[in-house]
Amino acid sequence: MIIGGPASQLLAGRVATTLNETLALCDYKTFPDGESYSQIVTQLDDEIAIIQSTPTDRDLVYLLQLLDICRGRRVSLVIPYFGYARQDKIFKPGEPMTARALATALNPFLQNGSVHLVNIHAPSIMAHFQCPIDNLDATALLAERVGSMGLVDTVVISPDKGAVAMAKTAAACLGCDSDYLQKTRLSGTEVSMAPKEVAVKGRDVVIFDDMIATGGTMAMAISFLRQQGARRVFLAAVHPVLTGSAILKLYRSGVEAVVATDTLDKGVSTVSVAPLIAKALRS
């Protein structure tokens, strides 16, 4: 039985259809005082897959509620987009390691279970879970879509060193070369790019990254590559967090198109990770 959390209803539906499994009927509400309410209306099976991304604190509460409802059953927990994954370290004294705190809160519900993440920002987070866990990679699915978009003389670019492995995987799928930019994060909303010559003149460029949040990284990278003579710049990202006016920033910077997956359900989520998740659950 598949249980779709409120942040992952469409993806849960796609996974249930792919696996030909029952999709539970759930009710999600907010009480007048702002507290969240969940109910699984369908009678539960013994083996359950919960699919719920956690882009907001409220989504985390819904996830805890669903896990509590399923207590005592064998649960495969799929968190397609794991919020707080960028708080994977204590960067300054006095800070929490929030990703670890969340794993610690989820562990008691997963004693007979497993966890499936998708392109987790920091794979070190997986060590904080005490059950079998895997990190599914959607890069090839994104590359497959990009490959069907008619790009000419393609080069894949990573906006920083953190996405180099992803860019290399994408370039191997597309049969082209890759390079990376040197981004420094100045604050939650500001980044800078160190000067660097990249061989993009007259070529179609695809920037691959795990997520687009404020759009600051991608907007800076698009402008940088266009200044270096890129013909067209496309973006491919697994998690379209897209806060505030991120999409406007990207198009103002001159992006040709944005391709992302349905780990978060946004207008640009045109590539589904359902086949990846279905395969992981089946095995």
Indicate which residues carry an active-site annotation.
183
Nearer to ligand R5P, 31 or 91 (CB): 91
Distance CA 277, CA 243 (A): 25
Cβ atoms 208, 165 nearer than 8 A: no
Tell me how many residues contact ligand R5P (CB under 6 A): 15
Least distance in Å: CB of 132 to ligand R5P? Answer: 26
Residue 87 is a binding residue for ligand R5P (CB under 6 A): no
Q: Which residues contact 283 (CB under 8 A, 6 or more apart)?
A: none
E strand intervals along 169-231: 177-180, 183-185, 191-193, 204-212
Relative to beta strand 26-30, strand 36-40 is antiparallel
Distance CA 63, CA 276 (A): 21
User: In this chain, which stretch among 29-37, 104-112, 156-164, 255-263 interacts with ligand R5P, using CB under 6 A?
Assistant: 156-164
Least distance in Å: CB of 122 to ligand R5P? Answer: 9
Least distance in Å: CB of 69 to ligand R5P? Answer: 32
Cβ atoms 82, 54 nearer than 8 A: yes
Interface positions, 163-222, toward ligand R5P (CB under 6 A): 163, 191, 209-217
Residue 162 is a binding residue for ligand R5P (CB under 6 A): yes
Where b means 16+ CB within 10 Å and e means fewer, 29-45 reads eeeeeeebebebeeeeb
Least distance in Å: CB of 270 to ligand R5P? Answer: 19
The alpha carbon of residue 30 and the mean position of all alpha carbons in its chain are separated, in whole angstroms, by 26
Tokens 């939650």 correspond to what residue? 188
Q: Provide the residue type at 47 as one letter.
A: E
Cβ atoms 262, 14 nearer than 8 A: yes
Nearer to ligand R5P, 191 or 281 (CB): 191
Nearer to ligand R5P, 6 or 215 (CB): 215
Residue 88 is a binding residue for ligand R5P (CB under 6 A): no
Nearer to ligand R5P, 68 or 190 (CB): 190
Nearer to ligand R5P, 104 or 192 (CB): 192
User: In this chain, which stretch among 77-85, 99-107, 159-167, 267-275 interacts with ligand R5P, using CB under 6 A?
Assistant: 159-167
List interacting residues with ligand R5P (CB under 6 A).
86, 159-160, 162-163, 191, 209-217
